[in-house]
Chains A and B, each alone.
Chain A
Amino acid sequence: MPIRTEPVTVNIGPQHPSTHGVFRLRVTFDGEVVQDLEPVFGYLHRGSEKLAEERTYSQVVTLTDRLDYVASMSNNLAYVRSVEKLAGVRPPDRAMYLRVISAELQRIASHLVATGFLLQDLGAFGTPLMYCFRERERILDLFEMLCGARVTFSYMRVGGVFQDAPGEFWIALDKFLGDMPHYIDEYEQLLSGNEILLTRTKDVGVLTSETAMDCSITGPVLRASGVDWDLRKVDPYEIYDRIDFDVPLGTVGDNYDRYLMRIEEMRQSLRIVSECVKQISSGPVKADVPWLVRPPVGDAYDHVEGPKGELGFYLVSDGGIAPYRCKIRSPSLINLTAVKDMLVGGKLSDMIVTMGSIDINMGEVDR
């Protein structure tokens, strides 16, 4: 007599300790195994794209901080670059170096958050999270010296950055660049060899490179599946072509690979920043672009390799002081298309860990 079982539908709801923001998964379980799931989002939808049509080009910068609130430097960079492409402005060299330094520091901070919360989902009670946040605080102090804020920076302006870095910034940056590799080795020693982490993440949430490309996944998740696509190498913007660094790739495309990607990318970002600090030359920090910039009629799309993936802005200008249309290509939203392939068939605990390893940010998904 077969045991009569029935699937149970559970709301891994908007209010749940490990959904990384207000994100809901309506999951039908057969016992612990995920049978079917349907992501539901929109809880953090603030209508940024509609708001952008009401603000001048320079005011929209404050809007872009709040998209991916963990990596607001690279949001600024993506937006400002597409306005410069629209207006045909080229920022001076020193501004580009400052932008790359802050974008790479922001990538380290975002990867620290991603790794810390991945371990929190795995159950390591807070220890890796606290170590990652201890290092992230040092980066936030650097940003506080640079632009006065700790999370929503609005540091970049059309044509460059608003102000040069103070003297104490460079001293603190050198000290940070000296200590950080040692801390990353500590994370590796604490985590990469940990047998329990290995059994929990290896061959879990596997994403083949074909599905990844088909679902237009970008960022560490795509590279973990072995697809060699990093905008900083493939389509070098700002001054990335003057800096040599490596792009880590995964082999299997499971959670462990995605974790390794982020740890390795942190090391590479450190390399980039230390190289930028060597190459930076003095000079103006902002091209003379009027505050009320009026780009010519037309449209432009520019993208940047953010910590979560390819963040792009498609701007349409009708010659006025405000963008006619500002479409945001958000990597976290599109990285969720393949969430069903990765999760169906796995267990409840695998689902939580895989969601953590995809590293979505609800501010960017719902805009």
Chain B
Amino acid sequence: MTVSLTGEDVQARVVGAIQGSIESWNGSDVWVPSGFLHEVCKFAKEDPELGMDFLVAISAVDYIEYFELVYHMQSIVHNHKMIVKTKCWGRENPTIASVVDVWRGADLQEREIYDLMGITFTDHPNLKRILLWEGFPGHPHRKDYLEPPR
């Protein structure tokens, strides 16, 4: 069974290395301030204990006040998985650090989130729209696209 690491043991490992990097956790989700995201991900990958060498998925959810980015990652060696969440504030131009240099698998997924949700990832190799054409107005997956937010 793929063990999903709970908040305590993740926090114990990560906060020990990077001060103030864990905002809060509940169950198996760990919230990280958006500034620390890149560091936490890099640490999660390189730390022999965690060894998160496989990024499963990056999902973006639009909660009207903020965007939430959910990073599912797992370790093939230790067969356990971890969920890191972070909040991006601001609706005009939410930006967050890209994790492509940690896992190359994040390349297309971040481009898709940029394309459909409008979150720009800093120092991403070629951040262009992936599914829609270049001149497409707006970002369709946002809640306020084409109809007022519910």
Q: Do A and B come from one complex?
A: yes
A contacts, CB < 8 Å to B:
41-42, 45, 47, 49-50, 211, 213-217, 227, 229, 234-236, 299, 301, 303, 310, 312, 314, 316, 324-325, 327, 329, 333-334, 336-338, 366-367
What chain B residues lie within 8 Å of A314 (beta carbons)? 57, 59, 70, 72
What chain A residues lie within 8 Å of B33 (beta carbons)? none
Which has the most chain B C-beta neighbours within 10 Å: A216, A324, A336, A338? Answer: A216
Known: A42-B131, A216-B105, A334-B108. A49 touches B72 (CB 8 A): no
The answer to whether B131 and A366 touch across the interface, beta carbons within 8 angstroms, is yes
The answer to whether A337 and B104 touch across the interface, beta carbons within 8 angstroms, is yes
Report how far A45 CA is from B53 CA in the complex, Å. 30
B110 to chain A, nearest CB (A): 11
Within 8 A of A (CB), among B133-150: 133, 140-141
B20 to chain A, nearest CB (A): 25
What chain A residues lie within 8 Å of B106 (beta carbons)? 216
Within 8 A of A (CB), among B30-74: 53-57, 59-62, 70, 72
Report how far A329 CA is from B109 CA in the complex, Å. 9
Known: A216-B54, A301-B57, A329-B57. A234 touches B107 (CB 8 A): no
Q: Which of A213, A217, A325 contacts B61 (CB 8 A)?
A: A325
Report how far A211 CA is from B54 CA in the complex, Å. 11
B129 to chain A, nearest CB (A): 8
The answer to whether B76 and A214 touch across the interface, beta carbons within 8 angstroms, is no
The answer to whether A45 and B59 touch across the interface, beta carbons within 8 angstroms, is no
Within 8 A of A (CB), among B61-112: 61-62, 70, 72, 76, 79, 83, 103-109, 112
Report, as a range, how many residues of chain B touch the other chain.
Answer: 20 to 34
The answer to whether B55 and A216 touch across the interface, beta carbons within 8 angstroms, is yes
A210 to chain B, nearest CB (A): 9
What chain A residues lie within 8 Å of B104 (beta carbons)? 211, 214-215, 337-338
21 contacts between A and B (CB under 8 A): A41-B130, A41-B131, A42-B130, A42-B133, A45-B131, A45-B132, A49-B141, A50-B141, A211-B104, A214-B53, A215-B105, A217-B105, A234-B2, A299-B61, A303-B56, A314-B59, A314-B72, A325-B59, A333-B112, A334-B105, A337-B105
Report how far A45 CA is from B107 CA in the complex, Å. 19
Q: B12 an interface residue at 8 Å Cβ cutoff?
A: no
A39 to chain B, nearest CB (A): 9
B118 to chain A, nearest CB (A): 14
Those 7 A-B pairs whose CB atoms lie nearest each other, nearest first:
A216-B105, A42-B131, A327-B59, A235-B2, A329-B57, A45-B131, A314-B59
Q: A214-B103, A301-B57, A314-B57 are in contact. List 17 more A-B contacts (CB 8 A).
A: A45-B131, A45-B132, A47-B140, A213-B54, A214-B53, A215-B103, A216-B56, A216-B105, A227-B76, A299-B61, A303-B56, A310-B56, A314-B70, A327-B59, A327-B60, A334-B109, A337-B104
B contacts, CB < 8 Å to A:
1-2, 53-57, 59-62, 70, 72, 76, 79, 83, 103-109, 112, 116, 129-133, 140-141
User: How many inter-chain residue pairs (CB < 8 Å) link A and B?
Assistant: 85
What chain A residues lie within 8 Å of B83 (beta carbons)? 301
A262 to chain B, nearest CB (A): 21
CB closest chain-A residue, reference B59:
A327
The answer to whether B79 and A234 touch across the interface, beta carbons within 8 angstroms, is yes
What chain B residues lie within 8 Å of A299 (beta carbons)? 61, 70
A52 to chain B, nearest CB (A): 11
What chain B residues lie within 8 Å of A216 (beta carbons)? 54-56, 103, 105-106
What chain A residues lie within 8 Å of B55 (beta carbons)? 216
Report how far A325 CA is from B59 CA in the complex, Å. 10
Report how far A336 CA is from B105 CA in the complex, Å. 9
What chain A residues lie within 8 Å of B62 (beta carbons)? 325
